[in-house]
Amino acid sequence: MRTLLLILPLLVIAAAARSEDEKPPETVSAAVRLVETRAREARPQVIFPQIDLTLVAERPAGLEGIPELSSQARYAEVRVGGSKSVLAFDAPEDSTALGRLYVPGTRAMLGRARAAGGDGFRIGFAGVRCGALEVDIALHYRGNDLMRAVLLPVVHRRGSTLVDGERRTVILVDTDADGRYDGPDDRWVALREDRLRSAVTLRRTEAQLLNEPQIPFREDGRALMVDGITPDGANLRLVLGQPRVSMREVLARRYAEVRAEHFRRFEQERDGFEARKRLDPRRPRAQAPAKWRTMTLTEGKALAQREGKPLLVHYFRESNAWCYRLDFFSFPDREVDTFLRRFVLVRVDVDKDPEHSYEQTGARGLPALVPFTRNGRPIAFRLRALEEDGKVRDLGTEEESMITGWQRPKELIVNLGRILESAR
């Protein structure tokens, strides 16, 4: 008993020390004041939400203030900001405009058109007033057929704050266009300064739901989270602490969403995609394509130095369709594969990278292929691309340090060869 009495205080002290060691990192919070910002005037531009509109060919009853339209007209009922509006789209064959938008009580608006792959194009209407909200509307056509219409609120909220000594730009989006910013579908993102400088557009999958932590988490397990928000979105509180939702759960939701939006027609569009991109389906493919190893940039540089080969880093995001197309159409090409085998091949998932090395490259899109010498120095080379006539030509006169975006096998072969020449 006496021995036990002597040991108990030591056990208590040891347990206290252990609990102190296991104590989670200190929570850091920051209050942020956000102001209204027009999405198309800010960088990066917010290109979501895209709220689908249900189009009907039959003119609704009681549609006052809109003239009789052609047989090509389509109508949609929109409920945004707590009020209901009826929109009408028309593109008669004898019209000099590619499209007109009619909203009761306003003059008809002409749309601005741009190509959207193959025989598709989009017509955009900017600054449309729907009830209490101002929105942009985009029409997606395939040939002469109107396939889809989407509505995008023009205004979001933006602010800036320091979190744990790091400057963040906070963007809050009314994703469901109900005039409030505290709903279950509304989203937020807090961008570091380097990411803010390099980003051109902000997509839906790059933002979090209000109950989700920022991706990726920090090395100590903490993550940035929204802890409170006012309905008008003017004020919110960020907390840097132990997340309530795991990174795996957040990414699972994100990937499921992207696959539903971008990959549901992947197989159906394959033949058309190959034709539009001038891919030759008869080109031989490697039986066992070279393997990419997933690790950080620091680990990849150490591996390249050990193996004495240049390093090629493939920055990707599982929610990016073009990353999948690079994996599917380009890397397995037999001739591309022979060049890839002369590199140490490393893949870095930008959503999970604790080093945030993608932002440090200055890349402006994904996928991105960034080469380094065996000693870890960036490799500069003249970038080439495939022109409309099918020939590969130099892009400008300046040297580049990466390949950004999807490339066909023919142009990827040329660029990998130039990288290897520069690496000598």
Assigned token pair, 389: 């006539």
- Residues 131 and 81: beta-carbon distance below 8 Å: yes
Within 8 A by CB and 6+ apart from 197, the residues are none
- Give SS3 for 319: coil
- Residues 245 and 212: beta-carbon distance below 8 Å: yes
Distance of CA 58 to the CA centre of its chain: 37
Helix then strand then coil, % of the chain, to nearest 5: 25, 35, 40
- Give SS3 for 69: coil
pLDDT of residue 389: 56
Q: Is residue 367 reached through a cis peptide bond, with omega within 30 degrees of 0 on the bond before it?
A: yes
End-to-end CA distance of the chain: 76
Fill in the amino acid letter for 160. S
Average pLDDT per block of 10 residues along the chain, 424 residues long: 39 39 60 82 80 81 78 78 75 58 76 68 79 77 72 86 88 85 91 80 86 86 90 91 88 77 59 76 90 94 96 89 85 95 95 86 87 94 67 65 89 90 86
- Residues 345 and 304: beta-carbon distance below 8 Å: no
Q: Alpha-carbon Rg of the chain, whole angstroms? A: 26
Distance of CA 94 to the CA centre of its chain: 39
170 burial level (CB within 10 Å; 0-12, 13-18, 19+): buried
196 burial level (CB within 10 Å; 0-12, 13-18, 19+): middle
- Residues 83 and 96: beta-carbon distance below 8 Å: no
Q: Are strands 344-349 and 311-316 parallel, antiparallel or unpaired?
A: parallel
Within 8 A by CB and 6+ apart from 396, the residues are 383
Q: Say whether pTM exceeds 0.85.
A: no
pLDDT of residue 169: 92
pLDDT of residue 96: 42
pLDDT of residue 388: 53
- In the chain, what are the domains? 25-46+156-261 (no CATH), 51-153 (no CATH), 277-423 (3.40.30.10)
Q: Are strands 109-110 and 187-192 parallel, antiparallel or unpaired?
A: unpaired
Give the separation between CA 345 and CA 419, rounded to whole angstroms: 14
pLDDT of residue 310: 96
Q: Is residue 216 reached through a cis peptide bond, with omega within 30 degrees of 0 on the bond before it?
A: yes
- Give SS3 for 263: coil
